[in-house]
Amino acid sequence: MFITISLKSECGSPLTVSSNAQITPADCNTIETDAGVALDLVNRHRRDGFVFGLFRVADAHELQLENLTVLYLTLDVVETVCPILSRRHWESCEYSDTYPMDFGQCKIITYTNHLLKKPQLYGFNCTLSPVPPDLVECKDCPVKLEALEVTDQHKDIAEKALKKFNSEGNHTNNFAVDKVERVIKMIGSREGHTLAFSIKETNCSKSMQETDQALECDFLHDWHAHTGFCKARIISDSDEADGTDISCEIYHPWVCTQLWTHLWLYPHVGYGNLA
């Protein structure tokens, strides 16, 4: 079988390799480690959602060439509770035991130069599916949980919850909701929602918005904006002060600029590279 592979080298110039080599099953003794490294590379290139954790190596093949090794992986993955913005390694992240996380599969291609010995991501394609409700239903639980499809209404709810964080925080500028990632409906003695959403720093200072409540704010440029991830619990029928609980992690701009720089240097890496 004659194979031609076109890759990008470390400096970004094209690298074309032709070979009569065969694609063979990968080494079972090392594939778990290689798969973990590949999944971390995928997580570092993603821009939203939650960090994927490795559940199982479904398939692994490799192509040994004169100056590099190409690895073809199919991995079964599960979402962790870590937001992608945190840039945490998937092995340091936990899995939710209170509400269902999405699961799915990633097809990944990596290549390793034999001299540099540093795996690089060539392309990936991940598909996710929610856990079927009947698999996670708890009939005897005092509070029942239901995952909802995210709507514009949920973004409005997140914005209202974020007002509490903006008013109580010690940051200079206010934040606004960027994207709502997950909505869980809670049904018990009272009804409520748990929302997980990303936020981004705006050009409105706290003093400006306190003076003019109708002031329209824009996101700061990616290179300068702090980002964050929030989890909020809102009791729908509560007028009490503690009806909304919100906690947010804030990330410095350099965390995100590293990501965007990597995407600029390696534009061939992305979701659309694999069929």
Mean pLDDT, rounded, for 130-151: 72
Choose the final residue of a domain: 87, 113, 132: 132
On whether both 96 and 143 belong to a single domain, the answer is no
User: Per mean pLDDT, which range of 85-94, 225-234, 262-271 is the poorest?
Assistant: 262-271
Tokens read off for 262: 């990597």
pLDDT of residue 144: 77
On whether both 127 and 40 belong to a single domain, the answer is yes
pLDDT of residue 132: 65
Tokens read off for 233: 């619990």
Which amino acid is located at 101 in the chain? M
DSSP for 19-31? E-PPEEEPPTTTH
Choose the final residue of a domain: 82, 109, 132: 132
On whether both 155 and 169 belong to a single domain, the answer is yes
pLDDT of residue 2: 36
Q: What is the mean pLDDT of the chain?
A: 81
pLDDT of residue 210: 61
pLDDT of residue 112: 93
On whether both 119 and 174 belong to a single domain, the answer is no
User: Per mean pLDDT, which range of 9-13, 15-19, 97-101, 240-244 is the poorest?
Assistant: 9-13
| Higher per-residue pLDDT: 191 or 175 | 175
On whether both 127 and 181 belong to a single domain, the answer is no
On whether both 43 and 77 belong to a single domain, the answer is yes
Choose the final residue of a domain: 95, 117, 132: 132
Residue 266 within any structural domain of the chain: no
User: Per mean pLDDT, which range of 82-86, 97-101, 180-184 is the poorest?
Assistant: 97-101
Confidence of residue 178 (pLDDT cuts 50, 70, 90): very high
pLDDT above 80 (res 215):
no
Tokens read off for 65: 């060439």
On whether both 174 and 235 belong to a single domain, the answer is yes
Of the chain, the end-to-end C-alpha distance in Å amounts to 21
On whether both 7 and 121 belong to a single domain, the answer is yes
pLDDT above 90 (res 214):
no
On whether both 123 and 145 belong to a single domain, the answer is no
On whether both 159 and 89 belong to a single domain, the answer is no
Any idea what the CATH number is for the domain that residue 19 is in? Answer: 3.10.450.10
Which has the closest alpha carbon to 102: 137, 51, 159?
Answer: 51
pLDDT digits 0-9 by tens, 21-80: 688 898 877 899 999 999 999 999 999 999 999 999 999 999 988 889 999 999 999 999
Is residue 228 within 8 A of residue 251, CB to CB? The reply is yes
pLDDT above 90 (res 193):
no
pLDDT above 50 (res 271):
no
Which domain range does residue 57 map to?
3-132
On whether both 102 and 27 belong to a single domain, the answer is yes
Is residue 90 within 8 A of residue 54, CB to CB? The reply is yes
DSSP-derived letter for residue 100 is: -
On whether both 127 and 243 belong to a single domain, the answer is no
Q: Quote the pTM value.
A: 0.78
Residue 263 within any structural domain of the chain: no
Number of structural domains in the chain: 2
Which has the closest alpha carbon to 53: 103, 115, 122, 4?
Answer: 103
